[in-house]
Amino acid sequence: MGSWSYEEGFFAQEPWWKEATFYQVYPASFKDTNGDGWGDIPGVLSEIDYLHELGVDCIWLSPVFESPQKDMGYDVSDYQKIYAPYGTVEDVDALLEACHARGMKLILDLVVNHTSVEHEWFKESRSSRDNPKRDWYIWKPARYDADGNRMPPTNWRGYFACSTWTWDEHTQEYYLHLYATDQPDLNWENEECRHAIYENTMKFWLDRGIDGFRIDTVNKYSKRTEYADAPVTEPDMPHQPAPEMWCNGPRIHEFIREMQAKALAPYGAVSVGELSNTPDPAQVLPYVTAAAGELDMVFEFSLIRLGTGGLLSGKYIYRPFALSTMKELVSRWQTFVEGTDGWTTVFCENHDNGRAVSRFGDTSTPQLWRASAKALALWQATLTGTLFLYQGQEIGQTNMPASWGVDEYKDIEAVNFYAEAVRSGDAARVRETLHGLSVLARDHARLPFQWDGSPHAGFTSASSASARRQPPWMRVHDDYREINAARQRGDGDSVLEFYRRVLRLRKRYRDLFVFGTFRLVDAEDEAVFSYVKESALAAEEVPGAPKRKALVVINFTREEQTHPDVGTTLGCKGARCRLLAETETTTSSDPKPGVLAPWQGKVFVNF
């Protein structure tokens, strides 16, 4: 860092997870070591050094528990067992040991808003109305219309294009499920149920040394218990969007504080919650302030949901957006914790969304694909908060080809929304839904990881003959020979090598990029995304140094663009304004000062 260094211990009091780079592994699609076409935990272990060399500090393992796989493991039937195609509990132990041996951490995906219908708790609950576990789930009697027709308890529409209620013939009542019929919601109002969650699901794994959890659907545990109808906002639909009935409910903060006190805090476990339908920073902050004792951090989804239609209906009717809209959202979620003891997260990909380079970048040519993938990497690595990467993001994996048919979509949400569009009989809606799926569908992120140019992209270790009998559970992308980790490894101009460099840069200048403040520059510019990061270190704490600042400029177009003047923006002159990093090295013998090539990004600092 030039002629000065951090004061010894300045960041020593900060928890490890603030400056860590987390990496989400979707195990079904990461690597298959036994040739059954399904990724597994030994596959993650086999590539642990790849992740370590990339600069990963913590692996987040998406659900691996026993499950009928109606929603890719987010329907758990036994929290203390591992779904056999993934491996065993001992395999998780081995992965944990390998992580710790390299100074890395491992967190698991905790799904406790609901279980599978195959979970023993639900089997007992539905066995009779007077079973001791009946109240561990949410059961309600039917309603009847004027003609005596049976109706669900409310008119709520769930996340997968269906009612949130399913009729149980055996006990003659409905049970609530915000997601699929196979995913009944647990009743967090029941204290015995809550404590079983802490003991049976969380402490079991924390006792084995797991470092924490990504907590699924964390703000849906407390529902509004009057169970009233939602307002009719979509007259043509039989069920109505009603997230206000189950998100951020009246007891939610009480429940999370209890979870923290009884399960997380005694182990020093890190927690990152999935906080959906909460676009107001004033509502988010109470979850992440250290004084509240709830969650360490959360995922807020305004940015990553850009382009989606309605949350619970019309989700896959794509809505184009302007760069200025993206800027406003980034600024909002970069600054909402300033002056507080809260914390924020940085991410633009996960298992529930299309690939970032296909949504926010440019895949029209190989050159623009590479340039825009690196631009997105620079953008993410220079933002304040804890950085989360999703598997394949670091090599620029893209959405599935436009030539693939609708039969390639496997995800329950995509299948249900498309079926609903077909049932409508509206040809335009079907076309729009297909287009939206091609950009936004969850399946894009779930294609197998592209390790090399061998058959099935090196995802499976099976021989060609064996692989033909049991191909990967999802089709491998057509471009795997051009985009894969082996091809990019060691290539200084590749997306992978750029990620490695920029992750090291993020750590080296953590005062700017992890802990620094954010200020947007020229919010209305629809071509160049510019912002200033200011160091978390006060100038007087580093004798002789100015207040450290960085200017990040990124061209989000395929044409040359000019960027703000560096000296004016950073308040420095001449040699004190230095180029710290850039996505593409200028090869022209006559470089143009202040000009960005298509999808080029640069970072300047005031040394």
Largest CA distance in the chain: 83
The ranges assigned to domains in the chain are 120-176, 514-606
CATH number for the domain running over 120-176? 3.90.400.10
Residues 41-63: tens digit of each pLDDT? 999 999 999 999 999 999 999 99
Close Cβ partners of 530 (under 8 Å, ≥ 6 residues apart)? 520, 521, 522, 551, 552, 553, 554, 563, 564, 569
pLDDT at site 345: 98
HEC per residue, 98-130: HHHHCCCEEEEEECCCECCCCCHHHHHHCCCCC
pLDDT at site 543: 60
> What is the distance between the alpha carbons of residues 387 and 22, in angstroms, rounded to a whole number?
6
> What is the distance between the alpha carbons of residues 230 and 241, in angstroms, rounded to a whole number?
7
Q: Compute the C-alpha angle 198/202/207, nearest 5°.
A: 120
pLDDT at site 167: 98
Compute CA 192 distance to the chain's CA centroid, rounded to the nearest angstrom: 31
Report whether 404 contacts 437 (CB < 8 A).
no
> What is the distance between the alpha carbons of residues 20 and 55, in angstroms, rounded to a whole number?
9
The string of DSSP letters for 531-579 reads EEEE-SS-GGGSTTPPPPEEEEEEE-SSS-EE---HHHHHT--GGGEEE
3-state secondary structure of 272: strand
> What is the distance between the alpha carbons of residues 434 and 319, in angstroms, rounded to a whole number?
13
Q: 120-176 and 514-606: same fold?
A: no
- Residue 469 or 208, more confident: 208
Residues 291-321: tens digit of each pLDDT? 999 999 999 999 999 999 987 888 999 999 9
Mean pLDDT computed over 158-164: 95
Mean pLDDT computed over 529-558: 84
Cβ burial 35-48 (10 Å sphere, 16+ → b, else e): ebbbbbbbbbbebb
3-state secondary structure of 110: strand
Which neighbouring-strand residues pair with 252?
none
**Which pLDDT band, with edges at 50, 70 and 90, does 468 fall under?**
low
Residues 355-380: tens digit of each pLDDT? 999 999 999 999 999 999 999 999 99
Amino acid at 23: Y
Tell me what the pLDDT averaged over the chain comes to: 94
Whether 135 is a known active-site residue: answer no
Q: Of the listed 274, 349, 525, 584, which one is catalytic?
A: 274
pLDDT at site 8: 45
Please state the φ and ψ torsions of residue 100, each to the nearest 5 degrees. -65, -35
Which CATH class name applies to 514-606?
mainly beta
Whether 216 is a known active-site residue: answer yes
Q: Provide, rounded to the nearest whole percent, the portion of the chain with pLDDT above 90.
A: 90
pLDDT at site 4: 39
> What is the distance between the alpha carbons of residues 597 and 447, in angstroms, rounded to a whole number?
31
Report whether 547 contacts 534 (CB < 8 A).
yes
Mean pLDDT computed over 399-427: 96
Amino acid at 461: S
Report whether 75 contacts 38 (CB < 8 A).
no
- Kindly give the residue spans of alpha helices, DSSP state H, lying in 408-540: 412-424, 427-440, 464-469, 485-488, 495-508, 510-513
The overall pTM is greater than 0.75: yes
Q: Of the listed 47, 182, 216, 443, which one is catalytic?
A: 216
Helix (H) or strand (E) holding 52: helix 48-54
Mean pLDDT computed over 49-78: 98
Question: Minimal CA–CA distance to 527: which of 565, 553, 552?
Answer: 553
Length of the chain: 607
Report whether 386 contacts 17 (CB < 8 A).
yes
Residue 360 DSSP class: T
**Computed from CA positions of residues 195, 199, 205, 211, in that sequence, does the dihedral angle turn out positive or negative?**
positive
Residue 264 DSSP class: I
**Which pLDDT band, with edges at 50, 70 and 90, does 10 fall under?**
low
- Residue 555 or 589, more confident: 555
Q: Is the pLDDT of residue 538 over 90?
A: no
| CA dist 315 → 229, 241, 353, 359, 436 (Å) | 22, 12, 12, 15, 8
**Which pLDDT band, with edges at 50, 70 and 90, does 542 fall under?**
low
Residues 185-211: tens digit of each pLDDT? 999 999 999 999 999 999 999 999 999
Q: Is the pLDDT of residue 1 over 70?
A: no
pLDDT at site 13: 87
Q: Provide, rounded to the nearest whole percent, the portion of the chain with pLDDT above 70.
A: 95
Residues 119-160: tens digit of each pLDDT? 999 999 999 999 999 999 999 999 999 999 999 999 999 999
Question: Minimal CA–CA distance to 107: which of 276, 258, 295, 292?
Answer: 295
Mean pLDDT computed over 241-264: 97
Q: Is the pLDDT of residue 3 over 50?
A: no
pLDDT at site 545: 59
pLDDT at site 552: 98
Tokens 């004084």 locate to 291
**Which pLDDT band, with edges at 50, 70 and 90, does 436 fall under?**
very high
